[in-house]
Structure 1
Amino acid sequence: MTTYAVPRDGLPGQTELHTGRAIFTDAYVVIPRGVLSDITTSYLPGWADTRLWVLARPMTGFSETFSQYVLEVMPGGGSDTPETDPEAEAVLFMLAGRAELTLPDGQHTMAEGGYAFLPPGLPWKFRATGQKAAKFIWIRKRYQPAPGVEVPEAFVTNEQDHSPAAMPRTGGRWATTRFVQPLDMRHDMHVNIVTLQRGAVIPFEETHVMEHGLYVLQGKAVYKLNTDWVEVEAGDFMWLRAFCPQACYAGGPGPFRYLLYKDVNRHARLGGVFGR
């Protein structure tokens, strides 16, 4: 069974040496797993027995199109009214534990690798059902309608039900697990899983309009972020602003894998972040 990195409980001991890797710049941010401790958690109204780490939120010089959380929901905890913004769409990705996701079409069991897309305005409920805490990523974006384009429907699936697609000329060493087809214009964001085998590379500095949020699920790598090479590992989060140059060397000994957010398929907003 595939396992995914989650925040650690507790705080570092008083005798530990400070060796943090946290970086905050106008071009990129690295929030290492080691700083996702008990003291950096937050809470949400309407969620019982739940705490979360806010990895990204819209603000000046940081995320512009999305917010991203890691939630820890204790057994029996959850929410009947999780989303308060009727314009927000979401992707949920299960890192650990089990939960029940209730949608208008019924109840869906979520376990490790579970993935759900939730369109704006859809009522949903979430309840942790296992013996241990349910831990999952919640990505939220204000949906951007387009003329003549329908809002996509909700779906629930699991990573194990999808085969990674090899990137061209890589022999499968660099592959992407896609949950939405790239040419489906209904979707204005993609949340994929990227896998780089040991020693594989992203061999050029990608420089593009899409903003990124990357949560490292497994492994370690050296990532090129703007002008810097930065070591990252399982449980780290990276934010890359639009047009931030990026490349990667996977470090091994196993595969390097991350959950990748990007905004797609829409005109660039004019007159501010949300065009208002």
Structure 2
Amino acid sequence: MSDNETRYYAPKGGLPPQTQLTTDRATFTEAYAVLPRGTMTDIVTSALPFWEGMRMWVIARPLSGFAETFSQYIVQVTPGGGSDKPEIDQLAEGVLFVVGGSLELDLDGEVHQLTAGSYAYLPCGQRWKLHNRGGEPASFHWIRKSYQRVDGIDLPEPLVTHESDVPGIEMPGTKGAWTTQRFVDPTDVRHDMHVNIVNFEPGGAIPFPETHVMEHGLYVLEGKAVYLLNNDWVEVQEGDFMWLRAFCPQACYAGGPGRFRYLLYKDVNRHAVLSRQLV
């Protein structure tokens, strides 16, 4: 990564003026979806049980013809807000990534202070609490997946870190123009999902159409680029979200003027689930 100041885009809500045109880049297809940042208005927010002072934008959920393996929320918590019972699904693992403000994370009595750039992995069954003890609203991504247990493989431990402590690994032959910050070891098969940060310096590119089994969720943290989604080149900017189904071709060109960075979800390290019929 370059030494540029790190920043993260977070939605603010509100509504556009009546004079604004309705034409935008919002797209939903069988292969991919693009949710531009302008779609994240006040009227599409949701709330959750056992939370106080929060609202969220649901940008992915398991649904026929949409995300199959994960859900993703952008959660905003007001000062004094939070939850002592944030996750009610004991089979769900989660990743929190903070994009604004500060939060206090209690992992079974062990307290961690989270700031913009903080990452937390929460294994299924983990007891945790989350509160905004500060004086400003806090925003974070919450990515959830039903954990696929494997006999003989232990559950991963909880992990709290910060992206500044996770170096960007140069992709082969790119001379640092394309790097990936991996929060967990990709060879650790206890994990069945990865949430990474992908970075492109101006002029960096994915120079071929990646076509693979992993489903993707991409939230643009910073900058702009043109992204190949199936057969379409789409211009995206910070605050936009993209969903890509398995095997959807993708590529990228980050023309600048600044860095292009996104938070990336993908499912990994498990057999393909096969349908079973009684014989």
1:69 matched to which residue of 2?
73
Normalized against structure 2, the TM-score is what? 0.96
29, 32, 39: which one aligns with 1:28: 32
3-state SS of the aligned residue for 1:108? strand
Write the mapping of 1:35-54 to structure 2, written as runs, cut at 5 A.
35-54=39-58
Superposed counterparts of 1:1-276, under 5 Å? 2-104=6-108, 106-271=110-275
Structure 2 CA distance, aligned partners of 1:224 and 1:3? 24
* In 1, Cα distance between equivalents of 2:255 and 2:19: 29
In the aligned structure 2, how far is the partner of 1:105 from the partner of 1:156? 14
CA offset at residue 105 of structure 1?
Answer: 5.0
Local SS of the residue matching 1:39 = helix
Q: How many positions carry a matched residue from both structures? A: 272
Runs of 4+ in 1 over 4 A off after TM superposition: none
Q: Quote the offset at 1:84 in angstroms.
A: 0.7
Report the Cα offset of residue 252 of structure 1. 1.1
Q: Secondary structure at the match of 1:266?
A: coil
C-alpha distance in 2 between matches for 1:45 and 1:38 = 19
Distance 1:263 1:205 in 2: 19
The TM-score normalised by the length of structure 1 is 0.97
Shift of 1:18: 2.3
CA distance in 2, matches of 1:25, 1:145: 31
What's the secondary structure of 1:232's corresponding residue? strand
Alpha-carbon distance in 2 for matches of 1:43, 1:223 = 32
Secondary structure, aligned partner of 1:136: strand
RMSD: 1.0
Q: Is the 8 A contact 1:104 1:124 kept in 2?
A: yes
Q: Percent identity over the alignment?
A: 61
State how far apart, in whole Å, the 2-side matches of 1:173 and 1:11 are. 37
CA distance in 2, matches of 1:33, 1:67: 18
Structure 1 residue 2: deviation in Å? 2.0
Post-superposition Cα deviations, 1:196-253, rounded to whole Å, max 9, x if no partner, equal 1111110000000000000000000100000101010000000000000000001311
The answer to whether the Cα contact below 8 Å between 1:70 and 1:135 also exists between their aligned partners in 2 is yes
SS in 2 for 1:34: helix
Look up the equivalent residue of 2:196 and give its one-letter code: N
